[in-house]
């Protein structure tokens, strides 16, 4: 049938999730619950990237990329990946 390709769609589950500053307004209990869900995604071979300034996240997330501002520009520091 002509045009059939334009009507056919495949569902695809992404292997990655990125969250940008989605944690600042959460209370401690809700933050723990959200991080438990994100941990479970990691256990199912999903990648989770988080952009945040929340200090509790730095303590709970082992592998980190930290952007450090310098005099001539920014640099990326890798933390906890090989520990």
Could you read off the pLDDT of 2-60 as tens digits, one per residue? Answer: 555 555 555 556 688 889 988 889 998 999 999 899 889 888 888 888 998 888 888 88
Domain span at 43: 4-79
Q: Is the pLDDT of residue 75 over 90?
A: yes
pTM more than 0.85: no
Alpha helices in the chain (DSSP H): 4-7, 28-43, 55-60
Could you tell me the CATH number of the domain that includes residue 9?
3.40.50.300
**Are the C-beta atoms of 54 and 23 separated by less than 8 Å?**
yes
Q: What is the CA radius of gyration of the chain?
A: 18
Q: How many domains does the chain have?
A: 1
* Rounded mean pLDDT, 71-83: 86
Confidence (pLDDT) at 58: 82
CA 62 – CA 44 distance, rounded (Å): 17
First to last CA, the chain: 57
């Amino acid at each position: 049938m002509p045009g059939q390709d334009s009507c056919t769609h495949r569902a695809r589950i992404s292997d990655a999730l990125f969250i940008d500053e989605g944690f600042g307004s959460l209370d401690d209990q809700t933050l723990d619950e959200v991080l438990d869900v994100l941990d479970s995604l990691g256990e199912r071979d999903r990648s989770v990237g988080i952009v945040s300034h929340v200090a509790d996240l730095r303590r709970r997330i082992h592998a980190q990329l930290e952007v450090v501002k310098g005099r001539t520009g920014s640099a990326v520091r890798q933390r906890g990946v090989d520990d």
